[in-house]
């Protein structure tokens, strides 16, 4: 796939369709590619990579890149394409300035998981269902299924929802992803147990803001928490309650707009399962307003910013019970 992508990107650069390419650049190790912009076939040939560790979602970078002169070519995995659609819906990206090539994805690897099973990694190659890892301390074979990013273990869709062209065959939406299983477990807890669970998780936060900064739904030019004049600017919590509030407020802020791309949990250095907050909102929206997937189509009106006569009464939600 990598070679096909490079070839196509070089062609589009050569014929002037695009002036730059957004992709991934080879890292120091096999598992650490960095998102990068390439402006020539030579640059692509030198550093461009695409493999199972290219998990990062490139869509958010297009907010900046689509403001530049000329078109940007971007490679989007199914997940990333939902984010892009959502950003188009919010008028954050100029569609005319972006050339999208959809690429199929059968799950990306979680470097933290691979590293925790194989110390001293020198190389890692996916072969079918397994990952062959060469380490300083010997070779290790891992099951790919055990090394996937959380979002990939419950993949909601293999379908690239917005593209100018597809490389390879497009996939389909997966209605049986089981992505709400953990949310259901949390719902089944007593309020005290649930409170303990979240206090335990959120108290681990070091307030690095990686979750917020990577989030395609968090696209404010300046976050209220970073604004010295907002009155709520925070670099750290004055008490543990505030820390919880940061994440809960953020989840509310992206409710109905979060596509469940899972980047928040991928980047958290403390491995807090932040996606569960967002999924709770997604599940509730599905329950109370009918099935809705943010980013499935550009320009759709999200239930939380729309009104229909069929909407449930607010007190139904307030009670948190069944309709």
Partner 1 sequence: MKKVSRSSLDACFAAIAASQKLYLPVADGEKKRGAKYAPWFEGAVYSTAVNTVRSAKDFFFPQVEKMTRFKMDGKQIEVEDIRKENEDFVIFGVRACDAASFAILDSVYLSDPVDSFYQNRREHGLIMTMACGKPTETCFCSVFGIDAAEPAGDISCWMTEDTVYMQANTEKGEALLASLPMLEDAADDAAEETKAAIRQVLDKLPLKDLSTDAFGGDKLMKLFDSDKWNSLSEACLACGTCTFVCPTCQCYDIRDYDTGHGIERFRCWDSCMYSDFTLCAHGNTRTTQMQRFRQRFMHKLVYYPSNNNGTFGCVGCGRCLKSCPISMNIVKVMKTLGEGNE
* Alpha-carbon gap, residue 300 to 60, rounded angstroms: 19
Nearest CB to partner 1, comparing residues 113 and 286: 113
Contact 167, 4 (CB under 8 A): yes
Q: Are 18 and 73 in contact (CB under 8 A)?
A: yes
Three-point CA angle 197, 199, 203, nearest 5°: 125
**Of the candidates 215, 80, 213, which has an alpha carbon nearest to the alpha carbon of residue 155?**
80
> In terms of CB distance, is 231 or 320 closer to partner 1?
231
Q: Which of 40, 24, 29 is nearest to 76 (CA)?
A: 24
Residue from 227, 228, 225 nearest 236 by CA? 225
Closest by CA to 155, choosing from 170, 130, 131, 176, is 176
Least Å distance between CB 269 and partner 1? 4
Nearer to partner 1, 227 or 306 (CB): 227
**Which CB, 201 or 260, lies closer to partner 1?**
201
Q: Contact positions toward partner 1, by CB under 8 A?
A: 27-29, 32-37, 56, 61, 110-113, 115-117, 119-122, 135-137, 206-210, 212-214, 222, 226, 228, 233, 235-238, 266-267, 269-271
Q: In the complex with partner 1, which residue's Cβ is closer, 148 or 183?
A: 148
- In the bound state with partner 1, the residue whose beta carbon lies nearer, of 57 and 157, is 57
186 to each of 54, 122, 154, 164, 264, how far by Cα in Å?
Answer: 31, 39, 17, 40, 19
DSSP, res 302: P
Q: Nearest distance from residue 301's CB to partner 1, in Å?
A: 30
Number of C-beta neighbours around residue 298 at 10 A? 16
* Minimum distance of partner 1 from residue 59's CB (angstroms): 13
């Amino acid at each position: 796939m990598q070679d096909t992508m490079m070839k196509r990107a070089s062609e589009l650069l050569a014929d002037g369709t695009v002036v730059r390419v957004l992709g991934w650049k080879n890292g120091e190790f096999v598992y650490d590619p960095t998102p990068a912009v390439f402006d020539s076939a030579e640059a692509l040939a030198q550093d461009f990579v695409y493999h199972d560790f290219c998990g990062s979602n490139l869509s958010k970078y297009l907010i900046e890149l689509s403001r530049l002169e000329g078109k940007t070519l971007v490679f989007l995995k199914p997940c990333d394409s939902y984010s892009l659609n959502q950003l188009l819906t919010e008028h954050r990206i100029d569609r005319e300035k972006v050339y999208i090539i959809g690429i199929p994805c059968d799950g990306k690897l979680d470097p933290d998981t691979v590293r925790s099973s194989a110390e001293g990694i020198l190389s890692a190659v996916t072969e079918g269902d397994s990952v062959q890892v060469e380490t300083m301390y010997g070779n290790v074979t891992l099951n790919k299924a055990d090394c996937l990013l959380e979002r990939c273990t419950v993949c909601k869709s293999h379908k690239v929802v917005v593209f100018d062209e597809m490389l390879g065959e497009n996939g389909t939406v997966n209605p049986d992803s089981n992505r709400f299983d953990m949310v259901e477990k949390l719902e089944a807890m007593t309020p005290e147990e649930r409170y303990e669970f979240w206090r335990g998780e959120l108290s681990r936060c070091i307030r690095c803001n990686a979750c917020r900064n990577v989030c395609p739904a968090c696209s404010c030019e300046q976050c209220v928490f970073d604004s010295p004049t907002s009155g709520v600017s925070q670099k750290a919590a004055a008490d543990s309650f505030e820390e919880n509030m940061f994440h809960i407020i953020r989840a509310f802020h992206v409710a109905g707009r979060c596509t469940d791309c899972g980047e928040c949990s991928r980047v958290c250095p403390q491995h807090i399962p932040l996606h569960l907050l967002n999924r709770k909102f997604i599940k509730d929206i599905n329950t109370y307003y009918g099935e809705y997937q943010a980013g499935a189509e550009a320009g759709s009106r999200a239930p939380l910013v729309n009104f229909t006569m069929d909407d449930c009464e607010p007190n139904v939600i307030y009670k948190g019970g069944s309709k």
